[in-house]
């Protein structure tokens, strides 16, 4: 049947990094943005995947905090600056990715003159808070 053939083609395409396109003339391509090995992911019998969108207006500053598990930040607009304990500040511009480490105190800020918008992705234990004050 045609449907089974299409499913096999899509699965095969995923294994080599492309997916079948709705367009007859092309293939959708996966573009890797970031890869990083971490050792602090939750190890319980269940994990919760969270995706958040955040906006910091010019001059906004987050409270000093830590995350229990790594948080991946993908900046879509502006510049988001992170000040992490015992490290140089990190400025992440639009299109940039940074993995906030677990158990490191930090403060985030928008020192620019346009909003800093970002998507946050992380895996945690079900019901865990996003951050703990430090």
For the chain, domains (ranges, CATH) are 1-31 (no CATH), 48-133 (2.60.120.10)
Q: What is the pLDDT at residue 1?
A: 46
CB 49 within 8 A of CB 43: no
Q: What is the pLDDT at residue 29?
A: 83
Beta strand 18-20 with 27-29: parallel, antiparallel or unpaired? antiparallel
Instruction: With a cut of 90, say whether residue 108 has pLDDT above it.
Output: yes
Residues 129, 133: Cα–Cα separation, whole Å: 10
- For 32, 37, 56, 117, the CA distances from 78, given in Å and listed in that order, are 21, 27, 9, 7
pTM of the model: 0.80
Q: What percent of the chain is predicted at pLDDT more than 70? A: 81
Report phi then psi at 55, rounded to 5.
-130, 125
CA quadruple 124, 127, 130, 131: dihedral positive or negative?
negative
Report phi then psi at 75, rounded to 5.
-85, 130
DSSP letter assigned to residue 64: S
Instruction: With a cut of 60, say whether residue 17 has pLDDT above it.
Output: no
Instruction: With a cut of 90, say whether residue 103 has pLDDT above it.
Output: yes
Q: What is the pLDDT at residue 28?
A: 78
Q: Which residue blocks in the chain are alpha helix, DSSP H?
A: 2-15
């Amino acid at each position: 049947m045609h449907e089974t053939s299409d499913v096999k083609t899509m699965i095969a395409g995923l294994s080599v990094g492309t997916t079948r396109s709705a367009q007859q003339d092309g293939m959708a391509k996966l573009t890797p943005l970031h890869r990083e090995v971490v050792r602090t992911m939750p190890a319980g019998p269940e994990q919760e995947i969270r995706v958040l969108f955040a906006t910091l207006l010019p001059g906004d500053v987050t409270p000093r905090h830590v995350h229990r598990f790594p948080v991946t930040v993908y900046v879509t607009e502006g510049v988001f600056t992170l000040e992490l304990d015992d490290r140089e500040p990190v400025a992440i511009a639009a299109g940039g990715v940074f993995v906030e480490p677990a158990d490191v105190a930090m403060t985030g800020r928008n020192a620019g003159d346009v909003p800093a918008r970002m998507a946050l992705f992380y895996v945690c234990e079900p019901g865990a808070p996003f951050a703990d004050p430090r």
